[in-house]
Every structure is written in C-alpha cells, then in structure tokens.
Structure 1
C-alpha cells in the first residue's frame, strides 16, 4: 500500500501544493507528506502543518449526537422541537416534524444559500443560535422526501447538542472528543481562539488553486462553525480515525454497539439495498461497499476522511488546495478499491431517464436561485441501455442503477427513480437531482438571454445617442440609463456573491433594484402615454416600443429571479 501511494504521489506531484496522507490498516500506519505549506517561502508540509477540515468537521456533530443518544439524553427519531427553546426562530414550512435522523441523512428539506458561508475578518462572531436564525435558508421540501446536503441542517444538529448538553458546542467537543482522544493540536473555534498555538501555526500555511496559484486572502471565518471550521494537524485527525476503528468504541463511546451503529447505513439509494449514508457519514462507493466518511472544502483547503470498520482500514487526506480531487478522492480509491460492476440479466430502456436535472441542493428562493441554472446537467441515452452526463458514460448495472469508470469512485454511482411528487429523480451520494421540464429550462435560459439582449440594446441606443446618429428624447434616454444601471447592479451582486460575502452587505444593492422597477414602470408609463397621444414618426415609435420592451424584460427578470430585498 505504501509503495502504491508513494507512486501515486510521485506521478501527480506536479499538481500538489501540500499533501498529508495517513492510512490505518489494522495495526499498520502509513504516513506520507509531500509538498509545501507555503510555496513561496518553501515551508514544507510536516507534522506541525495546520490544515482546515472543511465539512469533515461534521463528523464531530454526528459523534456528539450518538454520544448523547447513548447517554439517554435524546432520541434520533423524535421531533427536534422537543430539544429547542420556544423562542428559537425555525425555518419550518411543513407540519411534519424534523428529526435528528432527517438532519443526519440531509432529508430535512432545507434549501441552500450562497451568502454568509464564510466571512473575511468579521467585526463580531454571533452565537450559533443567532447564526441559525439569521441564515437565508428555507424548508422547501417535506421532511424525508428529498436528499439535499445542508450545512444549515448540520448546524441545527449542533445546536441541539448545545441545548441538550447545556454546553457551548465548542466546549462539548473539547470535553467529550478532543480531550479523550488527546487531540491537543486541533481547534474548532471559527477564529481558532480556543487554541492559540493553532491560530499562530495557521499563519504559516497558504492556500492554492488547482493550478497552484496563491489564493489571497485564504483565511476566512465560517459563521456556522460546526459545519466546517475545525483546523488542526493531520496526526490529530488520525487519532479520530483510529477511534472509529477501535474494537470497543472507547474512549468516544461507552459501548461498542454505539460505534457499530454510527457506521451502519441509515439511508439507501431509492429502490435499492445500496448504502448511501450512515448517521451523517457518506457512503464511498468501493470494493467492499461498506466505506463511510466525509469530504471537506474551504476557500483554499480540501480534505477527505473515510473508514471501513469491518476491514479495519481508514484513510485521511489533507491538502492546502481548493476543490482538490486528485488526492482527496484518488487516494481513497486506491485504498478501498472501486465498486464492482455487475452484469445483470435484465436491462431497462435507459431513454426513460433522459432529461435535464437540477440538484435539490440549490437556493430555491431569493436571487441566489439563478445559480441553479449553472448546475443543471443533461442526461442522454447512450445506445439502448446506458446514459451519458457531463461527458461521462454511465453503464447500466440494473434497472435504475448506473455506474461510471470515467470519474473517481466517489462519484461512480447514479441511481434513477420515480418520485411520487417530484417525478423522475437522479440520486447521487449527497443530493438528489430533480428533472426540470424542458419548457421551463428553455424559458428560464430564454429570460436570461432576453435580459442580455435588452442590455445590449440599451448600450447601442446610448452609443448612437452620444454619436448623434439618432436623436433620443430625454425620457427615452432616462430609461436606457436606468437599464444599464440595473444590469451593472445585478452583475455586481453576482460578483460579490461569487467572491464570498454576507447577505447583509448586498441588501443596499438588492433594494436598489426595487427602485429601478418602480422608476421603470413610471418612465414606461409616460412613454406609452406619449406614444398614444402624440404624433410620432415610425422610427421614433419603433424606438419607443423597443425601449418599453427592454424595461419589461429587465424588470421581469428582476422579479422572477428575486433580485430584490
């Protein structure tokens, strides 16, 4: 194994900034560290190098929940409202109760948000309760119906830990996980204020893009800290790995049965016996089919953490690169092997699953929902029984089951099913994808295209007016100026969101769009009145009609995509 991993690191070394790999195979432990924590200063990765866990941090939430269940302080299938204070402002939209099992399986029905995920140098850090109440998240699916990975749901589970234990979640983790495992070089606080050594060491590490370009700045604060703020050395995470592979569950649990239960499937792919999740841990398609763990990403770090308890094997990979896959997914694939490809006797006509699919894990309210357009994928039939999506070919291994060898094993399995409410659905490890009617897909992209055309027309009118090629009345000119300001404002909002920002910081820009809508209605009303009452030549009438149409298209886009506050 060590030779295979060393060869892999050597083969792909030119793609690495810094990498730390630890493999536990029963009593054997393999350490591999390569590259630099800081390329410019030539600081090598070593046992003192700090890495951000990202969403691997969620493993601590699920362990905490199982600890409290073992102690008899909570029940996984009980309404979480039982454990929350009465003044807590929940995001519930349905009468059905949300349980901890829903939160762990990511089936509570919450949508996502692209704001407030990370904040650069916040003026103050709010409490976990305040962050949850202020989150721009809504419950858009009934509990138990759809899988949509949710940072909010994980944070809500951590808040249940706070309320049930009577302790701040950071203190709970320190006392019940870090201290028993002697994880003395790991911080959970959003700004590492709980461990000054980690905070100081973090200054020695830089983060890089996939092409090894420095990401600057690369040290952000995660307000919903239980979902992704843990920072520490790889050898500390190894202690957690070994604890999940231990015989008796100590020191995390009192009984071995609790540890066994943590790694037993709690969610399967629709209509199959293929494991999908185990109490918040995600199934990694593998040779044994019993590997569970989690991946994680921050602005400039990527990690993965997987265990096969029955085989006594675990692996962790930590890198200081954003959205890294070659190591965080490639190395677990080497350790655990690829899933078996079966040759079924019965195959279905795969054309029934062709169509456009959108992840359930996208914002479904507010301006962020426009990003869902960019995440849609097209499934197309390949020959009679296979499918292609995003340039990958998926071979059918049974009705509804499709497997690809063109990507890392973490993304190998796609399962199609017919949902009683949502229709055709594609299920991957962490989210379901819902089929979008082709007419809706075309109309929504068409609205964006028309908006771009309206903006282009306003630019053309402005340029021709400045060049005196055509004379535009002041009221017409006013509408085109408004159009361009609105388009620039929308582009700025999109840019700020993509660059990581808070929802509060873009409130003024979203509010400005409402003023644009109101002003456009007034100006367009005046234009229509002038065209109906005055005598105009054909060219002027044509320009007036086009001007009103640009306003209608742009205001329609703002209202449909909710680019307002």
Structure 2
C-alpha cells in the first residue's frame, strides 16, 4: 500500500511537471500566455487589432497587411481592406506590397555580411571602394565612411529628381542612376544628420562592386533565399517576377473620407533604397532573423558578434535620444525597439523589432503616407518607455522659433521647398512645446533638459516620437527629430526676409495675371479713338505691353512648374528642364523689351505727365522684382 501511494504521488508529480513545462514552453514560444511589448495579451491580440483598424479601413485607409512574431512564431497574420478597390480584391497573406525605405535594411545587412568577411571596413573612406572620381560633387576633403552612410551624415543634399519613376521603361542600371542623380555635398561629414536615399544606394553599389554580383542578385542569394523569402524581390521592377506581379496590390491616395484615388507603382534606378517588393509574411521572416533564440545563430551572419554590432547604437544626438544602430532607427518603446519605416509613391510601411522581447511587427499599407495604422498601431503594440521625472528643466521658450530641414536641396529651384515646410516650435505651458509642420501639429513634453517626447497630436508625427534641441550659449544649433536634423534659418533667409520675399512674390504674380486683362480693356477702348492720328507714345506702349505679357508668360510657366511638382514630385529632371529653358528664353525676351523701351524713352525724353511715367515704369519695376525672385530661388537651374 505504501509503495502504491508513492507510485501514485510520483505519477501525479510527473504529470504536473509535464503540464508546467508545456505551459512554460507555450509562454516562451509566444503562446496564449504571452503578450506584446506594450502588454496586450496574445490571446486577445487579433481582437485588439481588428478593433483598432476598423475605425480607419475603408474610411481613411485603403488596405493593410499586418504580421506579428513572438519568439520566432507568427502570432498574427491578417489582411484588412482592399488590395484592389475597383475589383474588390481583399488584402490577403499573399498580397505583395512595396517595402519603401525598409528596403534600406537589406543594404545594411549586406554591408555587415561583407564586413564580417573582411571585405568592407566601416571606418575607411568609401572612395577606396568606388571607381576613381566617381563622386564629383564633394565640397569637403574629409573622408566619407560607411558609418557615415549608415548614420545618414555623409553631408549630401536632397536631390529630388530621378529618384522614382512611374513606368519600368525609365529604369536604368544602379550605376547609371547614381551618376544621373548625384547630389552635391553641402555639410561636412559627421556634422549633420540629413536622411539620404542616395547614400544608401551608394552603399549598395559598393556591395555590388565587392561581391561581383548585381545588388538585387546578391540580396536574393544571401538574404532572401537564405531566409526562405520566396515571395519577395529586391528590385522595383516586379514585372521580372510574373508570379509576384499577379498578387501585387494597387496603390492609392487618400482623397477624403472613404474616397481614394488610384496611384502608380514605384520604379527606381536607385532601387536599393526603396524598391523592394514582397509579402508582409516574408518581411516578418527578415525581421525574425535579427532575433535568434538564446544560444542560436542568426542565419544572416556567421558570427554572433556581427549581429550584436549591427544592433548596437552607432549614432545619437544626445543621451536618452533614440538614434541609429547601423542603419536601424531606434524607437523609444517599452523595451529597446529597432526598425524602419517606408514610403513610396502610393504605399506606406513600418517594421519594428524588439530584440529583448523577441517580438516583431510588420505593417504594410497600399496608401501614400498612411499613418493612422502604420504609426498609430505600431505605437499601441510596442508601447512607449516611461520617463523618470526630471528637475531643473530649462524654459521651453529657449528653443522656440522656425527651423529648416537639413534634408534639403542645396541647388536649383527646389531649394524653395524646405522654406515652405518649416518646422515651428512654440511654448505650450510650462514644460511643453507645440510642433507645427506641413499642416500637422503635435505636443511634446520636456522629459530631460532639451529632450522632448510626443504626448499628443497628429499620428503622422508618431514617426518622430522624440526631439532633441542642441543648444549652445543660449542659441539653438539644431533640432534633432529622429531621422534628420532641423537647422536655424540662415541670415540671408531669416523670417523677415522670407516674409518680404513672399509678399513680393504675391505682388508680382497678381500683377502679371491681372495686367493682360487691363491691356485688353485698354485696347478695346483705344479702338474707339480716332484712327487718323497716331496716339502719343504708341510705340512705347507696345513695348510696355510686350514686357508685361512676357512677365505673364514667366509667371504662368513657373506656376505650371510648381503645380506639376506638387501633383507629383517623383519626376525625372528631363521632365522639368524644358521649363527652365523657357525661363531663360522669356527672360532674354524681357531684356530685349527693356532695352528697346529705354531707348524709346531716351529718344522721346519721356516727356509725359507724372501719371503716365508711373504707369510706364510699373511693368519695368515688376519685371525687375520678378526676375530678382527667380534668381533668389534659383529658378534658372
């Protein structure tokens, strides 16, 4: 009896042990007992996501493919909305979407693979890996390292042409794309963070040269095939993979509540920085490779220290400010979070990994600049870290003002663009700032000296969860907002100068739009006059009319140029260059009219009434102001 009792107790203990082990394994593998980094139980995760997205899908967002991974296992994979609104095709796990800038992570992974093999040194001048005199627009002799490219502080301007096209026929080779859209260097390497698509594609070109393979083939072999990513392509021309093209979603623009306009697919010569296409489940496989289980090795690297190095912070503007980890952007989640967002012409995406929690989130949408789900849901899932109460915080008024994006064109008429999208900081109470940018606003609370955290406002600003003000001797030197710096306005473009320039621009535009109508009315009235005697100053008036109409032509040409860029800024420079030539031609014609008018005045000694003199001088003055504005904002280049 005693032996039977011991046997029974032992059996029960074994059963309990097995149950406890199974329960622990379930938690460890992301089972029902697990949770997201923000604390949402995995058992209720699908219901939470369903409830979150239903507010936006069909109203403010077209479609979304969402995948989450916990401890190496997919805990959610679901599509919402439509991949094709017109055909009513829903988003599904096999829906192919554009990665956007998440594609950059494949470049940095490739770089780290070659660094592991001793083929690339992250601290060596990249010119040693490039053909001689490949970079022809460098301002500084300082070396540009691979780390500079990873940290987006190589100093390149934002060149806004020939980045993306709307048809595959326009796509050139990677090398040709880099030469065609080569930007100038406007900052000293290492001094300013200015997000650079060019720098990333330049790194991919180095991978191409060292490996001896076209970049997209290298990625396919060494990343996608290794991870079993069969439904992805490291290129923007999906037409090369008909089986993927069949499942690719259409992209859309938000056109008002419940209304969406069809957009175009994204085609790129510099495709490494944003041209990848694939399913969300494939992208989740990529994310999972950066979070191997304890004691296991990432399939992407041969040495565990390579992964450790890649996920280590490589740049931050200040302690406590999220920075960059060898191409990954840090996010202030409940635990340390790394990731990258992406935008193409008509798609928006987000990838977040939480190595400590072995959790990953992939959100892909087929809508331009979608933020309600891409950023809002990501924030709800990964959470935000708690900040300790700070003391002796500086007055928020110290950092108020207007600031210009460091990521900007340094040459040509697009230099005007960053001045139209200035960041404005205003004190909001004792310890908060109101951030205004491009029609969006958000409130940021100071959590450490000069370090602010977003607490409310437009969801699009969730891409910038924190900002840091670099202040020296009472002056703001830079505002760091996660992916780029914002800089104080230069003295030559201070707010008074900008306001004066804006007022003059409005004045000349209104004048040259109205003036032709006035000339038409005057011409009709003049017909009623006697034709037996020529009107006084008839020749001069014709010259004045010619000058005015030339000014109208210049204004219309540049208004059309502005509207074209606003409707679609993904253009080849060849598309806008004819309008630059028109500026030269019309300005040359205006100079001829001015010269002829001055000669006419000198010949006739301008013997007219004061009123007539002012009416004659007005078109001349307006033309001088107009040309001055075009020169100031580089509309001749």
What is the TM-score when the length of structure 1 is the normalising length? 0.94
Which residue matches 1:489?
557
Alpha-carbon distance in structure 2 between the residues aligned to 1:122 and 1:445: 42
SS at match of 2:261: coil
Aligned 1:128-527 pairs, distance under 5 A = 128-135=174-181, 137-202=183-248, 205-209=250-254, 211=256, 212-247=258-293, 248-270=296-318, 272-288=319-335, 290-390=336-436, 391-407=441-457, 408=459, 409-418=462-471, 424-436=477-489, 440-468=494-522, 473-498=541-566, 499=568, 500-527=570-597
Contact 2:165 2:171 in 1 (8 A): no
What is the CA deviation profile of residues 366-412 of structure 1, one whole-angstrom value per residue up to 9, with x for unaligned ones?
Answer: 11111112210221223344322214222211211112211454322
Alpha-carbon distance in structure 1 between the residues aligned to 2:174 and 2:69: 34
Alpha-carbon distance in structure 1 between the residues aligned to 2:133 and 2:478: 37
What is the CA deviation profile of residues 92-146 of structure 1, one whole-angstrom value per residue up to 9, with x for unaligned ones?
Answer: 1111011110000000011112222221225443221111111152110000000
Contact 1:292 1:308 in 2 (8 A): yes
Range moving further from structure 2, 224-233 or 500-509: 500-509
Alpha-carbon distance in structure 2 between the residues aligned to 1:543 and 1:491: 26
How far residue 206 of structure 1 moved from its aligned partner, in angstroms, is 4.3
Which residue matches 2:36?
none
Which residue matches 1:92?
138
SS at match of 2:357: coil
Alpha-carbon distance in structure 2 between the residues aligned to 1:441 and 1:116: 31
- Structure-2 change in CA distance of 1:374 and 1:243 (3 Å): same
Contact 2:331 2:465 in 1 (8 A): no
Which residue matches 1:536?
608
How far residue 285 of structure 1 moved from its aligned partner, in angstroms, is 2.2
Alpha-carbon distance in structure 2 between the residues aligned to 1:342 and 1:283: 19
What is the CA deviation profile of residues 527-550 of structure 1, one whole-angstrom value per residue up to 9, with x for unaligned ones?
Answer: 344445331222221112211111
How far residue 87 of structure 1 moved from its aligned partner, in angstroms, is 4.7
- Structure-2 change in CA distance of 1:525 and 1:445 (3 Å): farther
Alpha-carbon distance in structure 1 between the residues aligned to 2:321 and 2:428: 24
- Structure-2 change in CA distance of 1:275 and 1:412 (3 Å): closer
- Structure-2 change in CA distance of 1:136 and 1:257 (3 Å): closer
Alpha-carbon distance in structure 2 between the residues aligned to 1:368 and 1:241: 36
Alpha-carbon distance in structure 1 between the residues aligned to 2:215 and 2:472: 37
Which residue matches 1:26?
71
Alpha-carbon distance in structure 1 between the residues aligned to 2:615 and 2:108: 62
- Structure-2 change in CA distance of 1:83 and 1:497 (3 Å): same
How far residue 446 of structure 1 moved from its aligned partner, in angstroms, is 2.3
Which residue matches 2:48?
4
Contact 1:531 1:541 in 2 (8 A): no
Alpha-carbon distance in structure 2 between the residues aligned to 1:445 and 1:516: 27
Alpha-carbon distance in structure 1 between the residues aligned to 2:463 and 2:504: 39
Range moving further from structure 2, 403-412 or 183-192: 403-412
Which residue matches 1:551?
623
How far residue 442 of structure 1 moved from its aligned partner, in angstroms, is 2.7
What is the CA deviation profile of residues 495-526 of structure 1, one whole-angstrom value per residue up to 9, with x for unaligned ones?
Answer: 22232321012111102212223332332233
Range moving further from structure 2, 9-18 or 180-189: 9-18
Alpha-carbon distance in structure 2 between the residues aligned to 1:333 and 1:485: 50
Range moving further from structure 2, 81-90 or 53-62: 81-90
Alpha-carbon distance in structure 1 between the residues aligned to 2:501 and 2:72: 60
What is the TM-score when the length of structure 2 is the normalising length? 0.84
Runs of 4+ aligned residues of structure 1 deviating over 6 Å after TM superposition are: 469-472
Which residue matches 1:563?
635
What is the CA deviation profile of residues 151-191 of structure 1, one whole-angstrom value per residue up to 9, with x for unaligned ones?
Answer: 01111111111111111101110110011011111112221
Contact 1:348 1:398 in 2 (8 A): no
**Pair member with larger Rg:** 2
SS at match of 1:244: coil
Contact 1:50 1:205 in 2 (8 A): no
Alpha-carbon distance in structure 1 between the residues aligned to 2:507 and 2:592: 22
